[in-house]
Structure 1
């Protein structure tokens, strides 16, 4: 049985590659989907498809609607969501994706560092499992196959 894992979280570091490589090393039958990882494409997709917009607000609105559609489809196809809250970048999209997973009743593994225990306490309470590291999240997935 192969599971599809939606990897929610910031797109500026290589944490997704780390998960994919470690899952492969463990021979876990997982496939991965994610938000659009090309930041420029994500920002410009609205204008790329709909044409030039009359200002920054409308440019962001056009891109957001298309990105949200993509995310919704990818998350609906996923069997489980891993949402990583990193320490370096703002995490608004991660919070939105994790909340969407909860609302969609998708199994959610939340990865959050110790310094975010308090600010993420309600979201952590709604996640199926909360861990501190990528390795712990993979161990949770590996346990499914025991």
Structure 2
């Protein structure tokens, strides 16, 4: 079973397209929390903050523990960069994968090739659609 971590943009259904396209059996999919409010509130259990910086700081640390563990456990990561928002967290995840030697595939449109040139240079593949990712994953999984 191939453990695939899905990182990045949370405003479209790209994760669902990949998961449904790959079917069942050969893959285990994990992801960061994709509910924006839940992610922002991850540190609230540690106490209420009146200052937004400290609330974000706590939640970022809690989310980082989850992300760190999931990336370290994955066999391959898919890093999605959307067109509407800057996904600094996705770039960070790609860098962490590169540092660990964990293979990753970037998923983004052609119009952001230039700002992602270093991220793409370390990637094992660059895809422009979830369907391409599905085809790559099915090929990589082979007869698992």
Following the alignment from structure 1 to structure 2, what is the Cα–Cα distance between the partners of residues 143 and 30?
Answer: 12
Question: How far off is 1:11 after superposition?
Answer: 1.3
Structure 1 outlier segments of 4+, above 4 Å? none
- The Cα RMSD (Å) is 1.4
Following the alignment from structure 1 to structure 2, what is the Cα–Cα distance between the partners of residues 28 and 138?
Answer: 14
The answer on whether the counterparts of 2:77 and 2:104 sit within 8 Å (CA) in structure 1 is: yes
Instruction: State the SS of the aligned residue for 2:5.
Output: strand
- Corresponding position of 2:33: 36
Question: How far off is 1:90 after superposition?
Answer: 2.2
Question: How far off is 1:28 after superposition?
Answer: 6.1
Q: Confirm whether residue 133 of structure 1 aligns to residue 129 of structure 2.
A: yes
Following the alignment from structure 1 to structure 2, what is the Cα–Cα distance between the partners of residues 12 and 130?
Answer: 20
Question: How far off is 1:94 after superposition?
Answer: 1.3
Structure 1, unmatched stretches of 5+, are: none
Question: How far off is 1:129 after superposition?
Answer: 1.1
TM-score calculated relative to the size of structure 2: 0.92
